[in-house]
Amino acid sequence: MYPINQLVEFNPDNKSLVNRQTGHAIQLQLPASLCFLYLITHASDIVSQNTLIKVGWGERNNVTTTNTLYQAILTLRNALADVGLPRDTVKTISRRGLTLNENTQVETITLSPGDVSLSASIPGHNDPEVILPPAQTTQVAWWNLLFTASAVIVILIIWLVWYQTRPTMPFNNFVSISMQIPSRQNCKIYYSPNEQDHEGYFSLMQLHPELCEKNKHVFLTGYRKTERVVAFVCDKDARVDARAFCTTHYYWMHETRNEKNT
């Protein structure tokens, strides 16, 4: 930390200039801050342009021009004036380089690790060192992590058990089929989509329109090996309503075909 003319503090660590009285702060670019620090630490010397380019731009000094250097110095002088210091705090010596103005008073304050200067944030504060307590870290108790993990596992087990044991509704794969039934009742008729021959279903419903009485839900399926057609007649849609009451009606396939042909 470098107090200048007992008015402004220059902190090379955070590249800042701060007016002690007003608290007004300016942030410097890295090259300008490095050059200013070098001029302060070599206050009695006239520092050449090449030296400042090497100090401010490091490995890029070979591609840095003199114009770039003086642009950084111009920015530095504007910043010094903005915080209340003379613009000629940094002087140019023609054909020789730059130096710190001989009227500039610079002090050096060394901060120990963990110390923080409050003069950069509190106007009029002249004590640059205030020791703050070390930050405390908060650790999550291991039992809290264990409880959270256990809760997640329990929820997962409950979901798996429910998924495996959930009730399966009958006829859940049946789909609706449209038929012209000689009945005034508007019943719903369903069949299994894996059935290929629907002729027997049409014949059955034409011959037995009573299955559609009272707007019932009729689920049709066939057993080819036994040559039978089964009609499940329900008072509700048994695919979605577990309270549906169903009756079962069996018919011979050949009887259905014979009755249709007669």
Q: Can you spell out the DSSP letters for 20-41?
A: TTT--EEEPPHHHHHHHHHHHH
Say yes or no: 127 and 180 in one domain. Answer: no
Min mean pLDDT across 107-116, 130-139, 184-193 is at 130-139
Say yes or no: 106 and 181 in one domain. Answer: no
Whether 170 is covered by a domain: the verdict is no
Q: CA geometry: angle at 187 spanning 182 and 193, to 5°?
A: 105
Whether 160 is covered by a domain: the verdict is no
Say yes or no: 127 and 179 in one domain. Answer: no
What span, in angstroms and rounded, lies between the C-alpha atoms of 23 and 151?
Answer: 53
Give exposure, 181-197, as e/b (b: 16+ Cβ within 10 Å). Answer: beeeeebebbbeeeeee
Whether 136 is covered by a domain: the verdict is no
What pLDDT is recorded for position 226? 61
- Report the mean per-residue pLDDT for the chain: 79
Residue 45 vs residue 205, higher pLDDT: 45
Residue 188 vs residue 225, higher pLDDT: 188
Read off the DSSP letter of residue 106: B
Whether 47 is covered by a domain: the verdict is yes
Say yes or no: 242 and 122 in one domain. Answer: no
What span, in angstroms and rounded, lies between the C-alpha atoms of 31 and 38?
Answer: 11
Q: Can you spell out the DSSP letters for 118-138?
A: -TTTSTT-----EEPPPPPPP
Nearest CA to 117 out of 130, 132, 107 is that of: 130
Whether 185 is covered by a domain: the verdict is yes
pTM, two decimal places: 0.44
Whether 40 is covered by a domain: the verdict is yes
pLDDT in tens, 25-69: 999 999 999 999 999 999 889 999 899 989 999 887 777 888 898
Q: Which residue type does 221 have?
A: T
The average pLDDT across 189-206 equals 76
Decide: helix, strand or coil at residue 64: coil
Domain range enclosing 31: 2-131
**Number of structural domains in the chain:** 2
pLDDT(236) > 80: yes
Say yes or no: 23 and 105 in one domain. Answer: yes
Give how far Cα 213 sits from Cα of 90, 94, 98, 208, Å.
106, 114, 109, 10
Min mean pLDDT across 156-160, 245-249, 253-257 is at 253-257
What pLDDT is recorded for position 223? 63
Residue 180 vs residue 192, higher pLDDT: 192
What span, in angstroms and rounded, lies between the C-alpha atoms of 15 and 160?
Answer: 60
Say yes or no: 193 and 121 in one domain. Answer: no
Domain boundary residue among 107, 131, 155? 131
Say yes or no: 179 and 125 in one domain. Answer: no
What span, in angstroms and rounded, lies between the C-alpha atoms of 24 and 17?
Answer: 8
The average pLDDT across 161-178 equals 73
Domain boundary residue among 131, 160, 191? 131
Whether 156 is covered by a domain: the verdict is no
Whether 140 is covered by a domain: the verdict is no
What pLDDT is recorded for position 165? 63
Q: Which CATH number fits the domain that encloses residue 18?
A: 1.10.10.10
Domain boundary residue among 101, 131, 161? 131
